[in-house]
Each structure stands twice: as structure tokens, then as C-alpha cells.
Structure 1
Amino acid sequence: MSNRRRWEIDALRGLMLMLMTLTHLPTRLSEPFGQPFGLVSAAEGFVLLSGYMAGLVYGRAAVEKGVAAMRRAFSRRAHVVYLCHAALLLFLFTVIALIGIRVDEPAVKNLMAYYLQHPLDALVGGLILIYQPPLLDILPMYVIFMLVSPWALVLALRAGWAPVMAASLAVWLLAQFGLAQWLYEAVAAATPLPVPYAQTGSFHVLAWQFLWMMGLWMGASRHEPEPAPFTFPNSAVAIAAVAALVCFVWRHAVGQVPFPGNATLNLLFDKWHLGPLRLLNLMALMVLVIRFGPWLASHLPRLRFLETLGAASLAVFCAHLVVVLLTLSLFGAQQDRAWSVDVPLLAVALSSLYAAGWLTLWLEQQPPGRLARFFSGWLRQKPTGQ
């Protein structure tokens, strides 16, 4: 397989990142761009696509360089993601905490309430991926996925993907019935774990791992000697189209909460547990993208802005969190400001994301040692006039 980038995958990931930014940034666009394609959010698509790219890239490493090289590559990436999470956590606990307290902004104080009450426990718990404040609970999930993926790939190479996906599906099913809380209570009973269960993150990793594993399988399967194409019978495509259309109309007619006032039924579409109907909605959209995506990619103009965001997804994701946290600390969480404030805010946010992506890709293209030589030479230069 060629080492060229899959620009269409980068564009899709860039779209997911832009939608996440528009959703998290407190503006008038937050509500309409939240779950715009149905009762499913950009996060699900981003995790699935990230798993696919991981399977594509690290699956190639396993085939061409061996399992040991694949393990090292996953470990390096997990280390980078962890460092990004630690940096964002310290940014939240220092810069954002200082601004939020000085401005007395309730949105920020509520977001980090546990840290303000128990700073040491929060710091230690955050660095060991147990305490996960809102918005900072996605990268810890990625670290876990990166550490587990080599074992899944090795098992798949030896026994096929059927047992891997069956186990993943079983874990997702158990997660719907409280497996995560049961495991937390078991650990809390055996150890002095100070972080409450409610502060361990909104995303239930045991449920969301199914999306990652599905993407990992789809990406890694492209390196099989004769990979089966991703095709679906016309009847399946028709059913997916009907399901996607129903959920799309439902979301925009009723709102992001499918069953207002009925908490039990809303669990079927629950985001944090990745409820069964939400998963079906995502699968319907996936079938349609696989079926019609190639045609669209060949007929629509390439959106370089989105490709840049997707190609440098980790840096762009971190930049989006920095922008969102700064906005919350300075402007609060209200979404009814004047357009004269929201438009410049959105422009600065999206420009920041593109700048982070462009700079990351530019740095990656520089020859080894060139930047070090440039900065050392620049530091040796005398100021003008001396």
C-alpha cells in the first residue's frame, strides 16, 4: 500500500474537529451544529476514523516491520498523546483557573469544581488518568486505546478479527448495564481511591472502545493479502438511508434530546454509554459514507482547510480545547451574545485551529536538525546596530 495520505479521511476528520469546535465553543452556533447529522455527534465519527487510521498505519508497521516495531510505534504515540493531556491539564489548573477565579466565571469554576476543592488529589488523579474534568476526558481515552491496540492486533493476526470484535461487542454490551461503575467500586473498595466516580470522565471507555476496535479492524484489514472490499447490498443501503433520514428529521424536529422528559428512553440514544440506537444511527451513516463517499470525493472540490485540520488532528484537537477553555473563562457559557461578538470569536477560533494544523505539518516536513541549526544560528546573531 502506498504511504500517501488518505486526503478524504483527513477531510472527514477535519470536519469532525470543526464540528466539535463549533459545538464546544459557547456561541449561537453551538446548538444547531451539535449532532447535525442525526442523533449522533462528531465525537463518534472522530473516534471511528481515528481507529481506522491507527489500523491502517500501525497495521502496516506490523506487516512490514514486525510486531515489535508495531508495539513501539503505538507506545510512542500513546506517550505523545499523554504528554498533550498532561499539558492541557496543567493549563486548566493554572492559566484557566487563575482567569476563572479572577473573573469569577461560574462556567469555569463548575468545570473544575473538584480541583478547586481537592487540588492535590485532582492533580495526581488527572496525571494518572483517573480524574477527568469535562472536555479533558477524550485524550485519556485515546491513551488507553493506544495501549490496548497492540494486544488486539496481535490476537487478530493469530486468530482473526472475529474473537477480537466479539469480545469488544460483549464489553460494550456489559457497559450498558454498569460494568464501568462496578469496576470502579471494586477498585475503590480495595485501594484508597479519592476521586469520586462522577469525576472519572463523561465518556465510558468500555463502551466507546467498540468504535475504536471497529475502526482498527477496518484499517488493519486493508493489509490482508486479498482484503475484502467494504460493500453492502442495495437492501442494506436502503435501510441505512431510511434510518439515517428518520434520525436526521427527529433530531432537527425534536432537538438533541430525542425523548424530552423520559430519562429511561433517552438511554437508548445516550452519548456517554454509546447507547444502542445511537450506535445504529452511526452505523447507518457509516454505510452511506462508504457507499457514496467515493463518488462524492471524485465530484466535490477538495477542502484543503479541512484536510489540514485532519492531517494534524492531535495538535488541532489540543488547540480547540485551549480556545474553548479561554472562551469559557473570559466570556462564560452563555450562547445568546450578539453576532458582533460571536463572528470575531468564531473567526479567531477557526483561524487558530488552522494555524495549529499548518504549523504542525510544516514542522513535520522539515529535515532532521534543520530547526535546531536555524534557532542556534539565530541566537548567535547580534542585534542590529551593534
Structure 2
Amino acid sequence: MKRSAQLDFFRGLLLIIITIDHSLTYNNIIKRFTYEFFGWVSAAEGFVYISGLTAGLVYYHKYVEKGGQHILEAAKNRVVTIYKYHIILLFFTFLIILSNFYITEYWAQYYSFLFDKTLLSVILGSVLLYQPVFMDILPMYTIFVAFIPILVKSLNKGLIWQVLVASIVLYIIGTIIHPYHVVDTLLGNKNIQTGFYNLLCWQLLFVLGIVSGFLFYNNKTNKIINNPSIIIVCAFFALFFFVEKNFHFGIANMDIEYLTNKPGLGFLRLLNFVVLCFLIIYIAARNRSWFTNKYICYLGKYSLEVFSFHIILILIFMPLKVYLNSIYTIKLTDNFYLYPLSSLLILFLIVPALYLAPTLVNKRIVPITK
């Protein structure tokens, strides 16, 4: 099974957008076009879905070729790898933040527990119970990947709708309760900090991705992708969400903040993502030579390394960004500014530095079939 250049491209593109969004000041005019420009959808939703889609393709192929025991071992090895990256990233994060006065001062509000109880924060972080800013993505993937063998085996038995219904039920439960809040309450430890994302809700994107990968692998998507009615409906809703998000006409009798909530993957946010995703898949399926830029694909091939490295870059350079913003700022509107110096830092230093990640880990690309 050959690598999909388009999947690598979209992973790489989303990693670039994630890096930019994590780096830019919220009211930077550039972020106006990189964060939720097409509606209530960010790069995070796309990245989780594509991770599931890739897993569905790769692990089902492994299941067909080598059987259930092999994918069990493969998933276990992947979980261990992601967990190792989490621990290493946690260590470097703590080291960076504690190493320099200016960096420490900048990140103090986000990592206060680290400064107060360093050893305890390391222990809780190693068991995924301390997940400060940027430290919650890899733990989420660690948990999701652990369930891949069960999902793949269920799909192979033809239990597609059962898998989807079970995932939707978990999503509904997640809109009511946050699983980590339950852990916080049961343990009664106010120091526990368990991340931004509600796993019960976000698992739906990952499961949708795995189901999509399974269907693509078995050539069962043609009727859906070629259905003109679905395309028209998705285009209508995508346009509606774009207009509503950017021009704020207001949806009567709806709690927009709740329905577009990001941590809990609000229903309108989920729907917004689904229609956009379908349209992108529709375009990509008809233009297989598109979305294959080799430089962007290169980042996508090393997504775990690049994602981890972008956090290190942010931790180091964000205090400098604040300093540069104080030197030169251009007010464009009451809500948006242009920060020329920090924007140049991000676009021409931090983003290009992502290409160092594969070299620093000194790891060649492993063929997708292995």
C-alpha cells in the first residue's frame, strides 16, 4: 500500500496552520484568516479526523495482510511511541520554562503548578493527569490509538453502523459531562489539570476518520462522493456557516457559543466540519494531482515529530513575540492589529524551522505497509 500524498499534504498543511495559530496573537489580522475563517472549524478538527482516516486505511490494510494480532501489536507500539514523545516533550517543556527568566515570566500564568510543585507536576504529567497548555494533544492520541484494534475488527465484521452509533452515544454523553472532570472530582485533587479537549466528544471525529478510511480502502465511498444532492446540501451549509461566522447575522433562539463550543465539539461546530470535510474530499477525489506539494507533504510524513517540535518552538519564541509586538504595532480596526515584526518571526523563522524536526530526530520515513 503506497503512501497517500494527499493525506501527507493535508497533515502537513494543518500542522503549518496549527503552528501559526498557536503562535499569533489573537487579534493579529493574519489569524483572522487562519483560525476559523470558513466557519466554526479550526485546524485541530481536521487533524484529528485525518489521523483517524490514516489509521483506518493503514491498520485495516495491516489487518487484511497480517491479521488481528499484528494490528494489536502495531497499535501497542504506536501508543508507546506517542507516550514517549509526550514524556520527552513534557521534560523539555519543563526544562525550557525553568531555564530562562524571561521565558519563565511569560509562561508563569500557564504553568503555575509546575513552578509551585515541580516534582508532583512531573509525576502527574507522566500519568496524563497534568496537561497544561499544549500538553493535552498527545495524551488524547495515546488513548484514541489504543482503541484502533477494536474498531478495525468491528468494522471488518460489518458493524459500521454499530460503531458509529456507539461513538455518537459517547459524544452525547460527553456534551453532558467531561470525563476528566469526573476524574478530578473522584480524586479530589485540585492540582489535576486534564486538558482542553473533551475526549468523549472528540473521539467522534477520530472514529469518523477510521470509518472513512475503512470505506475508502474497500471502495465504498463512490456513491456518496458522487451524489449531487449531498454535494449541494454540503455547499449550502458551508456557505451558511461561513456567512454566519464572519458577518454575524444571528441564528434565532440558538445558543451559538454552546453549539459551537470547541472543547466539547458543539453540534454546529461538528456539522460545520462535516460539510467542509465532505467538500474537500469531493474536490481532492476528482483532482488527485492537487494537494501534493512535496514540501508540505514532507511535514505530513513526520507529523508526530513536527507537532512535538512546534511546541518547543512556541515555548522558546513566544516571549520574544511579545517584545516585538511592543516595538511596532499597526492598528487596522478596533478589533484587529498588524504586528509586522512578530509576524515575520513566525512566518519566516518558526514555520520554516518545522523542517528541522525530521533531521533532529534522525529518522527515515518508514513505508506505510510496515
When residues 60 and 232 of structure 1 are mapped into structure 2, their CA distance, relative to the original with a 3 A threshold, is: same
Provide structure 1 residue ranges, at least 5 long, that are not aligned to the other structure: 367-386
Correspondence 1:244 to 2:218: no
TM-superposition CA deviations, 1:156-196 (whole Å, max 9, x none): 3335222111111100011111152563256326xxx5534
In 2: Cα distance, 1:232 partner to 1:295 partner: 10
8 Å CA contact retained: 2:284, 2:291: no
In 1: Cα distance, 2:342 partner to 2:62 partner: 48
When residues 112 and 152 of structure 1 are mapped into structure 2, their CA distance, relative to the original with a 3 A threshold, is: same
8 Å CA contact retained: 2:10, 2:291: no
Paired position in structure 2 for 1:195: 191
Paired position in structure 1 for 2:269: 278
In 2: Cα distance, 1:334 partner to 1:38 partner: 30
Paired position in structure 2 for 1:7: 5
Paired position in structure 1 for 2:94: 93
In 1: Cα distance, 2:2 partner to 2:297 partner: 13
Identity of paired residues, percent? Answer: 28
TM-score by length of 2: 0.86
TM-superposition CA deviations, 1:187-224 (whole Å, max 9, x none): 326xxx5534xx21001111100000111111123444
TM-superposition CA deviations, 1:17-75 (whole Å, max 9, x none): 11101100135333431123221100000100010001111111111101010011111
Q: Superposition pairs for residues 127-142 of structure 1, below 5 Å?
A: 127-142=126-141
Correspondence 1:209 to 2:203: yes
Instruction: Give the counterpart of 1:234 among 228, 231, 234.
Output: 228
In 2: Cα distance, 1:333 partner to 1:265 partner: 35
CA shift, 1:305, in A, is 1.8
Q: Superposition pairs for residues 297-336 of structure 1, below 5 Å?
A: 297-298=288-289, 300=290, 302-332=292-322
In 2: Cα distance, 1:301 partner to 1:265 partner: 33
8 Å CA contact retained: 1:55, 1:217: yes
8 Å CA contact retained: 1:23, 1:31: no
8 Å CA contact retained: 2:41, 2:269: yes
TM-score by length of 1: 0.83
In 2: Cα distance, 1:131 partner to 1:167 partner: 28
In 2: Cα distance, 1:23 partner to 1:254 partner: 22
CA shift, 1:344, in A, is 3.5
When residues 15 and 36 of structure 1 are mapped into structure 2, their CA distance, relative to the original with a 3 A threshold, is: farther
TM-superposition CA deviations, 1:90-120 (whole Å, max 9, x none): 1111112322xx1265541111112222323
Counterpart amino acid of 1:325? L
CA shift, 1:4, in A, is 1.4
Greater CA drift, 25-34 or 171-180: 25-34
TM-superposition CA deviations, 1:96-147 (whole Å, max 9, x none): 2322xx1265541111112222323211111111111111111100000011
Counterpart amino acid of 2:136? D
When residues 278 and 89 of structure 1 are mapped into structure 2, their CA distance, relative to the original with a 3 A threshold, is: same
CA shift, 1:283, in A, is 0.6
Counterpart amino acid of 1:23? D
In 2: Cα distance, 1:216 partner to 1:344 partner: 37
Paired position in structure 2 for 1:158: 157
TM-superposition CA deviations, 1:342-384 (whole Å, max 9, x none): 3134211121112324666863379xxxxxxxxxxxxxxxxxx
Q: Superposition pairs for residues 36-47 of structure 1, below 5 Å?
A: 36-47=37-48
8 Å CA contact retained: 2:305, 2:358: yes
Instruction: Give the counterpart of 2:260 among 257, 263, 269.
Output: 269
When residues 164 and 210 of structure 1 are mapped into structure 2, their CA distance, relative to the original with a 3 A threshold, is: same
Paired position in structure 1 for 2:145: 146
Q: SS where residue 363 of structure 1 aligns?
A: coil
8 Å CA contact retained: 2:102, 2:319: yes
In 1: Cα distance, 2:187 partner to 2:3 partner: 44
TM-superposition CA deviations, 1:281-310 (whole Å, max 9, x none): 001101211222233444x47422211111
The higher radius of gyration belongs to: 1
In 2: Cα distance, 1:270 partner to 1:144 partner: 22
Greater CA drift, 336-345 or 239-248: 336-345
When residues 365 and 49 of structure 1 are mapped into structure 2, their CA distance, relative to the original with a 3 A threshold, is: closer
Paired position in structure 1 for 2:336: none
Counterpart amino acid of 1:317? F
Provide structure 2 residue ranges, at least 5 long, that are not aligned to the other structure: 329-338
Paired position in structure 1 for 2:75: 74
8 Å CA contact retained: 1:105, 1:329: no
Greater CA drift, 22-31 or 5-14: 22-31
